[in-house]
């Protein structure tokens, strides 16, 4: 799985491993991966990589195949966000969001699918966002990339229906992770609020009145892995913010 160095990815890795799957952990920072690996049951593979590298998908899948055989469960959790007014969003920011949040998952999905189809079984789960389900101000590049990711999931699920391979997205709201910490800091810097006030504002965006936990997102991922009847879905884990 990608994005396994912290936050949602690390939580999902632990839950997938606890459910009995051998887990390959990938992220850019080897030290973070080593720390997570120490909390994961079994003997995970640690595979540092920048998933935006065009060769990363083949390198990661090939490493898993050499160790264990074809990838059976692919969790696409690597991602990042950027916030700025539309008119101030640079080409570089736009391209970075598309490369990390959409193109990298596409390459990994494309590489893993043939072996899953041959085996007659596979599970693919992408971590999207509520920003894949509705427009939000100041995050045009991020929202576009996540809308695209949900479209990729739906198209792949429709194409693979009947093969034994399911493809789903989990769409969290604001999760208590380092990524949200960065969002809080950006809001505080932009608005003059204290970090505590900025965090409280994000909590109020969700009807349950708090941030989502990474483990709650992992619950939805495990549901997708366990079910053959759930495919083509964008599952909200957002405290009721988007009623889909």
Check if the beta carbon of residue 199 is closer than 8 Å to that of residue 133: no
| Residue 142 annotated in active site | yes
Rounded to whole angstroms, the Cα distance separating 46 from 34 reads: 7
Rounded to whole angstroms, the Cα distance separating 236 from 244 reads: 8
Check if the beta carbon of residue 123 is closer than 8 Å to that of residue 166: yes
Check if the beta carbon of residue 106 is closer than 8 Å to that of residue 156: no
Q: Exactly one of 142, 149, 175, 198 is catalytic; which is it?
A: 142
Alpha helices in 192-242 (DSSP H): 195-204, 214-226
DSSP secondary structure string, 149-190? HHHHHHHHHHHHTTTTEEEEEEEE-SBSSHHHHHHHHHHHHH
Catalytic residue IDs: 142
């Amino acid at each position: 799985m990608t994005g396994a160095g912290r936050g949602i990815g690390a939580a999902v890795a632990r839950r997938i491993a606890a459910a009995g799957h051998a887990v390959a952990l990938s992220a850019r920072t080897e030290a973070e991966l080593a720390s997570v690996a120490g909390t994961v049951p079994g003997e995970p593979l640690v595979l540092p990589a920048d998933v935006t590298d065009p060769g990363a998908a083949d390198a990661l899948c090939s490493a898993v195949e050499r160790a264990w055989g074809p990838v059976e469960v692919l969790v696409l959790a690597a991602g990042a966000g950027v916030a700025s007014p539309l008119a101030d969003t640079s080409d570089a920011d736009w391209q970075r969001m598309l490369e990390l949040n959409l193109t990298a998952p596409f390459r990994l999905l494309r590489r893993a699918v043939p072996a899953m189809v041959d085996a007659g079984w596979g599970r693919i789960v992408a971590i999207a966002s509520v920003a894949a389900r509705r427009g939000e101000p100041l995050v045009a590049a991020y929202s576009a990339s996540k809308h695209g990711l949900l479209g990729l999931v739906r198209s792949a699920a429709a194409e693979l229906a009947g093969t034994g391979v399911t493809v789903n997205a989990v769409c969290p709201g604001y999760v208590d992770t380092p990524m949200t910490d960065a969002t809080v800091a950006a809001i505080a810097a932009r608005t003059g609020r204290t970090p505590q006030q900025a965090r409280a504002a994000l909590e109020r965006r969700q009807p349950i009145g708090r941030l989502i936990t990474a483990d709650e997102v992992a619950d939805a991922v495990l549901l997708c892995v366990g079910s053959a009847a759930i495919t083509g879905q964008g599952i909200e884990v957002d405290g009721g913010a988007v009623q889909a």
